[in-house]
Amino acid sequence: MAYLQLQGIEKFFGDHRAIKGIDLEIKPGEFIVFVGPSGCGKSTLLRLIAGLEHIDGGTLSLEGRDITHLPSSKRDLAMVFQSYALYPHMSVAENMSFALKLAGAPKAEIDEKVKKAADILDLTKYLERTPKELSGGQRQRVAIGRAIVRAPKVFLFDEPLSNLDAALRGQTRIEIAKLHRDLGATTIYVTHDQVEAMTLADRVVVLRDGLIEQVGTPLELYDNPANQFVAQFIGTPQMNILPYKQWSAAIKALAPSAAKEGSIGLRPECVVLGSDASAKVQGKVDVVEALGAETLVYITTNEGAQLVARQSERTPLHMGDTVSADLALDQAHWFDSKGRVVKA
Ligand code: ATP
C-alpha cells in the first residue's frame, strides 16, 4: 500500500488549471523530489499536500485514510519553508518547541525532543538566541529542527536552500541527506535545482505545466529520459541537442529513420574531442572551462551546432582552435520532431 497517495489531484486558480490531474504513490520512508521549471506547479502541489491550498479535484490519502479536505493542522505533516518562517521574538528553543506546547505536550517531553533535535542539527549552543542573531544557514536549521520535534508522518520542504549561498547550500544539502538517513522519515522536497534533485532523491518527479512528465530514480532519469524535455532538464551541463538541420553526414547515415527531422541528444561525456579527420563532426572551440577535476569544452560544429564536451583530463585546446568530435552514438538519445523518444 502507498503511504501517501495522490489520485487525480487538480487545482484551479480562477480559470487557470494549475495542477491537471496528478497520480503518484509515495512509499514509507521515501525521499521524493518535485522538480520542474518555474511555474510548472511544484510548490502548488506541495501546498495541496500540506493542506495550505484547497484541493479542487481528486483524492489525497495518508496510510489509506482520505485527508483530501482535512485541515492542515490535522494532517500530521510538517513543512519547512524557503523563508524559514521563524517567530522573530522567540528564542531558538521556543521556536522549536512552539508546536508541541500548543499541542499541550508535557514540558519534560518537549525539552527532551528539543534537546535531541538541537543535537542532531548542531544547534545546542544557539538555543537561547533569537533568529536575528543567527546566520542564514543556522536559521534554516532551526526551521528544520522545528519540523523534527513534531515527528510528523511526512516532511515537506519548499525550496529550503534557495536563500543560502552556494557553499552553505552544498553543506546543508548534505545535512538534509544525513538527516533523512538517520530519521528515515517520508520526505517531499521541492526544488528547481536539478543537482539537489539528483543528489537527495530516492525518486524524482519531473513536472511541467501542471502534469508529471516522468517519475524515476535520478539515474533512471539521466540514462532513460522519457522525452526531450526530461532529457534537457536533468544533467549539468545540459544534454546536447542537435536538431536535424545541424546534423553532419556521419550522423545522418546512422540515425534511425523515425528520428529524421527530429533531433539527437548526447550527454557532454559522450562527445570526445580530438583531431581525427574521420570523426563524426568537425568544428571550432568557443570556450574552455577548466574546472580542475574536469574540463568543459564548448564548440560550434561546421554545421552550426553548439556542443559541450566533458573531459576528465586537462586539455591543450584553446579558444578558436580547430577540433573534431567523435560522438558516442551508441549512447545517443534520438527524438522525433515532437520530442518523443525514438529507439535506435
Ligand atoms: P516556481 O519555481 O517559480 O516557484 P512552481 O513550479 O512552484 O514555480 P507554482 O508556484 O506552483 O509553480 O505555480 C503554478 C502555476 O499556478 C503558475 O502558473 C502560477 O502563476 C499559478 N499560481 C500559483 N499560485 C497562485 C495563486 N495564489 N493565484 C493564482 N495563480 C497562482
The rounded Å distance from CA 44 to ligand 1 centre is: 6
Q: Which atom of ligand 1 is nearest to the CA of 45?
A: 11
Burial code (b: 16+ CB inside 10 Å, e: under 16) for 110-124 equals beebbeebbebbebe
- CA gap 58, 68 in Å, rounded: 8
User: Does the bond joining 237 to the residue before it have cis omega, within 30 degrees of 0?
Assistant: yes
What is the atom index within ligand 1 of the atom nearest the CA of 11?
Answer: 16
Residue type, 231: A
Q: What is the pLDDT of residue 335?
A: 97
Own/partner contacts of 224-231, CB < 8 Å, gap of 24 or more, are 225/265, 225/333, 225/341, 226/341, 227/335, 227/339, 227/340, 227/341, 228/263, 228/265, 228/333, 228/335, 228/339, 228/340, 229/339, 230/206, 231/265, 231/333, 231/335
Q: Render pLDDT for 292-304 as a digit per residue (tens, 0 to 9).
A: 999 999 999 999 9
Domains and CATH numbers, the chain: 4-227 (3.40.50.300), 237-342 (2.40.50.140)
* Residue pair 259/238 in contact by the 8 Å Cβ criterion: no
Are the C-beta atoms of residues 58 and 7 closer than 8 Å to each other?
yes
What pLDDT is recorded for position 85?
82
Model pLDDT, residue 197: 93
Strand partners of residue 214 = 206
ipTM of the complex: 0.96
Among 13, 49, 233, name the best residue to mutate to test ligand 1's pocket (greatest count of ligand atoms within 8 A of Cβ): 13
Residue nearest to atom 9 of ligand 1 (CA): 41
Task: Report, as ranges of residue numbers, the positions in the chain whose pLDDT lies below 50.
Answer: none
Atom of ligand 1 nearest to the CA of 210: 14
